Amino acid sequence: MTQTLSSDLAALKLAIENSEATCGNTRIVTIDGPAGSGKTTLAKELADYLGDARVVHLDELYEGWSKALDDILYQRIHSWIITPIRNGLPAKHLSYNWTNDNYSNWTEIPITRVLIIEGVGSGHTSLRPYVSQSVWIEADEELLLDRVVQRDGEIVRDEMLIWKAKERAYFEVHQVKKSANFHLFGQ
DSSP 126: G
What is the C-alpha separation between 108 and 124, in angstroms, rounded? 23
- The predicted pLDDT at position 52 comes to 87
Average pLDDT value over all residues in the chain: 91
What is the C-alpha separation between 157 and 146, in angstroms, rounded? 9
- The predicted pLDDT at position 146 comes to 77
Task: Kindly report the pTM of this predicted structure.
Answer: 0.92
Q: Which residues pair with 131 in a beta bridge?
A: 28
The answer to whether residues 115 and 109 touch, using CB atoms and an 8 Å cutoff, is yes
Local confidence pLDDT in tens for the 187 residues of the chain: 344 567 889 999 999 999 999 999 999 999 999 988 999 999 999 999 999 899 999 999 999 887 889 899 999 999 999 999 999 999 999 999 988 999 999 999 999 999 999 999 999 999 999 999 999 999 888 788 778 778 888 887 888 888 888 999 999 999 999 999 999 987 6
3-state secondary structure of 155: helix
State the angle between helix axes of 157-173 and 141-152 in degrees (0 to 180), rounded to the nearest 10.
130
Tell me: the pLDDT tens digits for 122-140? 999 999 999 999 999 998 8
Tell me: the pLDDT tens digits for 44-79? 999 999 998 999 999 999 998 878 898 999 999 999
What is the C-alpha separation between 86 and 142, in angstroms, rounded? 40
Q: Concatenated DSSP letters for 72-100?
A: HHHHHIIIIIIHHHHTT--EEEEEEETTT
Q: Dihedral through CA 138, CA 141, CA 144, CA 149, nearest 10?
A: 170
What is the C-alpha separation between 85 and 111, in angstroms, rounded? 7
Distant-in-sequence, close-in-space partners of 51: CB < 8 Å, separation ≥ 6: none
Neighbours of 27 (CB within 10 A): 25
Domains and CATH numbers, the chain: 6-185 (3.40.50.300)
